[in-house]
Structures are given as structure tokens and as C-alpha cells.
Structure 1
């Protein structure tokens, strides 16, 4: 992730885009999330969305990395810390039982 953030930082600087405020980066991120939602809903409705889910997800990832960089957050470190917290918060047995209940309810619908 750090390599990607560094490459993205260089990409933005070369275009002057490093001047964009974090608030605007966040708005662009939300817009791209909407495009991912559109792709997923198209798939759920068994329609050919005619889009590019991988590309839309990549847009979301790039904007998330950019936002983290703008705010001075080491995204890789933060994600690893959060994963460690979640391992404690959601023990295996509890999580497996919750997933079984989820699948049962989903299958009943």
C-alpha cells in the first residue's frame, strides 16, 4: 500500500492535483462508491451492467489512498491495526455462528 500511495502522490503532484482539498477528495470517493453500487445492483438484477466493476473498485481504492495520504494516515498500518482489533472483537466461533444464521435467513427469502 505504501508503494501505491507514493506512486499516487507522484501522479497527483505532476498534474497539480495535490492541491485538491481532502473534502473534495472525499466527495469524489463517495461518487465512485455510487458507481460501484450501480455495478453491483446491475449484477444483482441479473442485468448486464455494461460497466467495469474492477475499474470502479480501483477508482475507490485510489481515492481512499489519496484521502489517507492527504490526512497523514498510514493506511496500511491503520488497516493492520483495525484487523487485529477485529480479530479480538469477532471471535471465530461467534462469527461462524452468525454467518450460519445469516445464510439461513438469506436462503429462506
Structure 2
């Protein structure tokens, strides 16, 4: 069964292939492009109050949606080029966080857990 994420990765792969862009889609270049797009998303929030960020006006929300799309595309493409299953990586990270951040000890707290050997 093909998931929507896998279908998106396949479509991105084809998009790059027909444009002969695979040569530019190195992990380094994709990671840098991803960071740039995250920066553009962050810029949409830069001068908003916490309240405004929770309910942006329609124009701001449309720009945020576009930037979220860009971030998603670069993230999916990077994972595909590296052969990383994004959903499995996210599940593994959530499992690790579940072990590191005991709900009773960290409820309502923004403090970080002590570092682990694998970051």
C-alpha cells in the first residue's frame, strides 16, 4: 500500500527527473533549501504577538500555508534522497521523547531533558 507521503515523494522524484534537477538535489543542497524555507516561514511569525500567531489574518495564513508547503516538499525530497522513511523517523523520535520526557516530571514545563548519547 502506498501512503500519501510516498506518493508525494514519487511525484517530487518525477518532477525533478523531468527537469533534470536531480543533479542539484544533493542532501546538502536540499538541507540548505529546507533551512531557507523554514526561515521564510519563521519570518511570517516574526512580528506577530502570541495571540496573532494563533489566529493569523487570511492573507498571513495564505502565506504561511505556502511556506509550509515549501518546507514539506523540501523535507520529503531530502528524506527520499537519503532513503529515510519520514514517518518511521518521526515515530522513532516520538518514542524516544516519550522515554525522555516522563509526563509526570515534565507536565507544564518547558525545560529540556538531559542530553542523550544520540541527541
TM-score of the two chains, using structure 1 as the length reference: 0.75
Quote the Cα distance in structure 2 between the aligned partners of 1:14 and 1:63.
17
Please report how far the alpha carbon of residue 2 of structure 1 lies from its aligned counterpart in structure 2 after TM superposition: 2.1
Aligned Cα RMSD in Å?
Answer: 2.4
In the alignment, the residues of structure 2 paired with residue 10 and residue 42 of structure 1 have an alpha-carbon distance, to the nearest angstrom, of 38
1:88 to 2:99 alignment? yes
* Runs of 4+ that moved beyond 4 A: 45-48
Q: How many residues align?
A: 99
Match of 2:31 in 1: 26
Unaligned runs of 5+ in 2: 112-119
Q: CA deviation at 1:60?
A: 0.9
More helix by share: 1
Unaligned residue ranges in structure 1 (runs of 5+): 102-109
Q: CA deviation at 1:74?
A: 1.3
CA deviations on 1:17-42 (whole Å, 9 max, x unpaired) are 22212211111111111101110113
Offset, 1:97: 3.5
Deviates most, 1-10 or 25-34: 1-10
